[in-house]
């Protein structure tokens, strides 16, 4: 059971007033708020354990190194990866996808090779591949969706050719909320001997992820969407793949030896972590993962599902309400349009009532084109949200409706 009063107490920002009204924060898909333990961990890191890590002989450097490597192990356990060498710290999902796109293309693709993505991808799982397409002449194949916002799996199966080198798909859509059958997708891809990258930016905060059970080849997520700090994220990669791929960036930390004649690269995971890593961010991320673990992902999923069902029912009370994405498997994200009310107007007016939602294309313009719209209003929930907040949100939409 979720102890909502105690949880809300952990997030000081939730007590805030916005425009004189208590804040209702429904923009969790963009970023989540931070519990006290995470902020305190950052503070404690800078006050007590701050020194550049690796190779330091002095106490503070060793303590900081230990904390950073312990954080890697926390991430490893969280994802159920088999080795800490499979956990690469990045700046976030976007950087992790760019890393794979760049290194995988260099090592494994040539002109005419194909990558399968889907129409529901975030720009960060489209544009890195387009950059590689321009550089190396690879081709993108796009899986469409059905009217409920689910991937068309029959079409997906037909997209494989002998030139398919990688499948790169989102686990949970940041617009539709659709949770894709990623295990089935990975099985299908592996039957064609094709590895799979999973964009877990939206799934990891809401669904228990076991990369070993999924047999994912690459799995990426961002710290800030799972109650951790901004500027840190994770690339999980099977060791055999990471070993095969060339470094993404050059610099300190990622080398074994450097001379002007020849440089050799460090072993995993350091080969992919050029420069001073965010060793404060990594430990704060680990703290966030422990926090989520204490509440329990099964409890989180059950409670958020209850909120999703309630919000969806209440939104359907409005005449002229269009909800985008009604997948059988759906996370707590609702994108909608009410009659002809522009999403921007809805977002602005709700903000005056202290209610934070996101409006626009949500970094998924190709999906908007497929839906034949320019944008939506999006309310995305967390385990710290409540039915009372949903009631205030519904009352807010009623007020906006009356103004039009
Ligand atoms: N993929 C998805 C599905 C997302 O929702 C987001 C963030 N909105 C990203 C990727 C990019 O994450 P970040 O900006 O943290 O790199």
Cα of 221 to ligand 1 centre, how many Å?
8
* Cα separations in angstroms, 89 against 95, 239, 283: 10, 15, 11
Rounded distance, CA 181 to CA 171, Å?
8
Cα of 250 to ligand 1 centre, how many Å?
25
Is pTM beyond 0.75? Reply is yes
Residue of the nearest CA to atom 4 in ligand 1? 201
The predicted structure's pLDDT at residue 56:
86
User: Does the beta carbon of 235 sit less than 6 angstroms from any atom of ligand 1?
Assistant: no
Residue of the nearest CA to atom 5 in ligand 1? 174
Segment (H or E) for 394: helix 387-403
The predicted structure's pLDDT at residue 55:
83
Backbone φ and ψ of 290, nearest 5°: -65, -40
What is the per-residue DSSP string for 18-59? ETTEE-EE-BTTT-----HHHHHHHHHHHHHS-S--SS--SH
The predicted structure's pLDDT at residue 29:
98
User: Does the beta carbon of 222 sit less than 6 angstroms from any atom of ligand 1?
Assistant: yes
The predicted structure's pLDDT at residue 223:
98
Question: Chain-centre distance of CA 309, in angstroms?
Answer: 22
User: Does the beta carbon of 90 sit less than 6 angstroms from any atom of ligand 1?
Assistant: no
* Cα separations in angstroms, 365 against 119, 181, 360: 9, 23, 9
Residue of the nearest CA to atom 6 in ligand 1? 201
Rounded distance, CA 130 to CA 113, Å?
13
User: Does the beta carbon of 128 sit less than 6 angstroms from any atom of ligand 1?
Assistant: no
Please say whether the beta carbons of 228 and 289 come within 8 A: yes
Cα of 261 to ligand 1 centre, how many Å?
40
Please say whether the beta carbons of 118 and 142 come within 8 A: yes
User: Does the beta carbon of 27 sit less than 6 angstroms from any atom of ligand 1?
Assistant: no
The catalytic residues are: 363
What tokens were used for 297?
């992902």
User: Does the beta carbon of 203 sit less than 6 angstroms from any atom of ligand 1?
Assistant: no
User: Does the beta carbon of 124 sit less than 6 angstroms from any atom of ligand 1?
Assistant: yes
Q: What is the mean pLDDT of each run of 10 residues along the chain (404 residues)?
A: 95 98 98 98 98 93 97 98 98 98 98 98 98 97 98 98 98 98 98 98 98 98 98 98 97 92 93 97 98 98 98 98 98 98 98 98 97 98 98 98 95
Cα of 263 to ligand 1 centre, how many Å?
34
Burial of 79 (0-12, 13-18, 19+ CB in 10 A): buried
Closest CA to 296 of 78, 35, 26, 10: 78
Residue of the nearest CA to atom 8 in ligand 1? 30
Closest CA to 2 of 327, 307, 326: 307
**Alpha-carbon dihedral sign for residues 124, 125, 128, 130:** negative
């Amino acid at each position: 059971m979720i102890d909502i009063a105690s949880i809300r107490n952990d997030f000081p920002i939730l007590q805030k007033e916005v425009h004189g009204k208590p804040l209702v924060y429904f923009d969790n898909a963009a970023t989540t708020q931070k519990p006290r333990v995470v902020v305190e961990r950052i503070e404690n890191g800078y006050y007590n354990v701050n020194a550049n890590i690796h190779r330091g002989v002095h106490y503070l450097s060793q303590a900081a190194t230990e904390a950073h490597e312990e954080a890697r192990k926390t991430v490893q356990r969280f994802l159920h990866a088999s080795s800490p060498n499979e956990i690469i710290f990045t700046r976030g999902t976007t950087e992790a996808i760019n890393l794979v796109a760049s290194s995988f293309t260099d090592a494994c693709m040539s002109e005419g090779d194909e990558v399968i993505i889907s129409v529901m991808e975030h720009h960060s799982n489209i544009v890195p591949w387009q950059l590689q397409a321009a550089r190396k002449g690879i081709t993108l194949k796009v899986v469409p969706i059905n009217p409920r916002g689910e991937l068309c799996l029959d079409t997906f199966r037909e997209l494989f050719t002998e030139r398919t080198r990688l499948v790169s798909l989102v686990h949970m859509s940041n617009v539709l909320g659709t949770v894709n059958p990623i295990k089935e997708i990975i099985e299908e891809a592996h039957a064609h001997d094709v590895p799979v990258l999973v964009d877990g930016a939206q799934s990891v905060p809401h669904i228990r992820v076991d990369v070993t059970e999924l047999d994912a080849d690459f799995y990426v997520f961002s710290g800030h969407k799972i109650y951790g700090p901004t500027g840190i994220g994770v690339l999980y990669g099977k060791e055999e793949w990471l070993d095969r791929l060339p470094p993404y960036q050059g610099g300190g930390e990622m080398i074994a030896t450097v001379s002007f004649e020849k440089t050799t690269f460090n072993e995993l995971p350091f080969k992919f972590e050029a420069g001073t890593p965010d060793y404060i961010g990594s430990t704060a991320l680990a703290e966030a993962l422990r926090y989520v673990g204490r509440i329990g992902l099964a409890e989180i999923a059950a409670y958020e599902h209850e909120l999703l069902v309630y919000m969806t029912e209440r939104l359907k009370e409005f005449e002229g309400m269009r909800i985008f994405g009604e997948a059988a498997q759906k996370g707590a994200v609702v994108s909608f349009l009410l009659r002809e009310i522009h999403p921007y107007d809805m977002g602005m007016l709700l903000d005056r009532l202290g209610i934070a939602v996101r409006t626009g294309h949500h970094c998924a313009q190709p999906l908007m084109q497929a839906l034949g719209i320019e944008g939506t209003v999006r309310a995305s929930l967390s385990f710290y949200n409540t039915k009372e907040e949903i009631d205030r949100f519904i009352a807010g939409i009623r007020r906006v409706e009356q103004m039009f």
